[in-house]
C-alpha cells in the first residue's frame, strides 16, 4: 500500500542470501516513519515481542523471515532453540504457528537460498490471500454498507500488504466508492488511532477516530452500517479471538441489528482448537494501561503516567467473540457462515 504515494510492505527482504530483512517500526507511527533493518534472528523475534511489528499475518511472515535468518546464521540450533523461540513470541495469533510449521517442514532439505525463498513465498501468499479477501469483502460492503466501524488495526501494516478488514475498504475506494470509517482508538495501545487512521489517511479515505466507548452510541444513532474486524485466531466452531473490545462490539451490534463481519485468511483458522475457550489469551504489561506515549508540539517524545502510583492494571490483549454473534467470516475463499 502507499505511504506518501510510494508503495511499501510491512516488511520485505532486501537482497539475496546475503541480504537483510527490513520492516516498518509500527511503535513509531504515526509520528515517525522509520524502517528497521537486520540480519539478526534475535532482533526479529524481539521486534515481534515488542510490537514493532504486529497483526497476525505480519507476525507470521516476520517469523518466517526470522527463522530463515536463524537457519542461515545458527543452523545447529534451528530446531532446538530457534523454532521454540519464535513460537513463544506471541501466544494468541494462529498465523505465527502456521508460519513456524511451514518453515520447519522446508528446513529438512533446504539450502540457505531455499529458506529465504520459502519465507518470501510465505509472505507473498499472505498478501495474495488478503487481496482476494478484500474483493469478497468489498462485494458485501458495497450493498449499502459504506459507513463502516472497525477496531484495532487490520490493514496492510498487520498483514504485510492490503489488510484483512481494511482490504475490503481499499477495494471499495479503488472501485470509485466513497466509504467512510469510524476508527475505534483501541485502548490500551491505540492501534486504531495510531495505525488504522494513518493508513486510511495515506489512502485518502474518509475516517474519524473515536473513543472505544463511543461505538455503541454511534450504532444506536444509526450512524454505522457494518462492523468489520480482523482476527488473530478462529476456532473450528467459528469463535473468534481478536483485539480486546471486539466481543463488546459484537454485543452492541446484535442489539442494534448491525452486521458484524470478521475478515481473516485461512492461516488464521485453527482447526485443532474446537472452540474459543481453548484459545490462549495473551496478558501484557500493566504499563500499557497505566502509561501513555506520545509527542508534544515540539516533536519530543514523552512517556507519562496517567494513573495513581501503586495501582495495578488488568491488561488482556484479546477477547473471544462467540460464533453466534458473528454475521459472517470472510476469507480468501469467500464468505463463511458460522
The set of catalytic residues is 232
- Give the H/E segment covering residue 58: helix 56-73
C-alpha grid cell, residue 106: 522446508
Distance CA 141, CA 169 (A): 8
CA dihedral 30, 31, 32, 36 (to 10 degrees): -50
**Cβ distance 263 to 164 under 8 Å?**
yes
Distance CA 38, CA 21 (A): 6
Distance CA 101, CA 106 (A): 9
**Cβ distance 242 to 262 under 8 Å?**
yes
Say how many C-beta atoms besides its own lie within 10 A of residue 268's C-beta: 27
66 burial (CB, 10 Å; 0-12 / 13-18 / 19+) is buried
Amino acid at each position: 500500500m502507499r505511504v506518501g504515494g510510494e508503495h511499501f510492505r510491512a516488511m520485505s527482504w532486501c537482497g539475496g542470501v546475503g541480504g537483510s530483512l527490513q520492516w516498518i517500526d509500527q511503535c513509531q507511527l504515526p509520528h515517525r516513519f522509520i524502517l528497521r533493518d537486520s540480519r539478526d534472528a534475535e532482533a526479529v523475534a524481539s521486534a515481534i515481542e515488542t510490537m514493532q511489528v504486529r497483526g497476525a499475518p505480519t507476525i507470521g511472515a516476520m517469523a518466517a523471515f526470522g527463522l530463515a535468518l536463524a537457519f542461515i546464521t545458527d543452523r545447529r540450533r534451528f530446531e532446538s532453540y530457534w523454532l521454540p523461540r519464535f513460537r513463544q513470541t506471541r501466544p494468541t495469533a494462529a498465523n505465527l504457528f502456521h508460519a513456524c510449521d511451514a518453515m520447519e517442514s522446508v528446513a529438512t532439505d533446504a539450502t540457505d537460498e531455499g529458506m529465504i525463498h520459502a519465507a518470501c513465498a510465505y509472505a507473498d501468499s499472505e498478501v495474495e490471500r488478503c487481496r482476494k479477501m478484500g474483493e469478497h469483502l468489498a462485494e458485501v460492503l458495497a450493498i449499502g454498507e459504506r459507513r463502516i466501524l472497525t477496531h484495532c488495526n487490520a490493514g496492510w501494516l498487520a498483514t504485510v500488504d492490503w489488510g484483512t478488514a481494511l482490504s475490503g475498504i481499499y477495494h471499495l475506494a479503488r472501485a470509485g466508492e466513497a466509504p467512510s470509517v469510524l476508527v475505534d482508538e483501541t485502548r490500551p495501545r491505540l492501534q486504531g488511532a495510531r495505525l488504522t487512521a494513518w493508513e486510511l489517511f495515506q489512502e485518502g479515505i474518509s475516517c474519524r477516530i473515536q473513543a472505544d466507548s463511543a461505538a455503541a452510541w454511534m450504532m444506536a444513532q444509526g450512524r454505522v452500517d457494518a462492523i468489520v474486524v480482523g482476527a488473530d485466531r478462529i476456532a473450528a466452531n467459528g469463535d473468534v479471538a481478536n483485539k480486546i473490545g471486539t466481543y463488546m462490539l459484537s454485543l452492541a451490534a446484535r442489539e442494534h441489528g448491525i452486521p458484524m463481519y470478521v475478515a481473516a485468511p485461512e492461516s488464521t483458522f485453527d482447526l485443532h482448537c474446537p472452540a474459543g475457550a481453548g484459545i490462549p489469551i495473551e496478558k501484557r504489561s500493566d504499563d500499557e494501561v497505566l502509561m501513555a506515549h506520545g509527542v508534544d508540539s515540539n516533536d519530543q517524545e514523552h512517556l507519562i503516567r496517567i494513573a495513581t502510583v501503586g495501582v495495578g492494571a488488568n491488561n488482556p490483549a484479546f477477547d473471544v467473540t462467540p460464533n453466534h454473534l458473528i454475521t459472517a467470516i470472510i476469507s480468501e475463499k469467500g464468505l463463511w457462515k458460522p
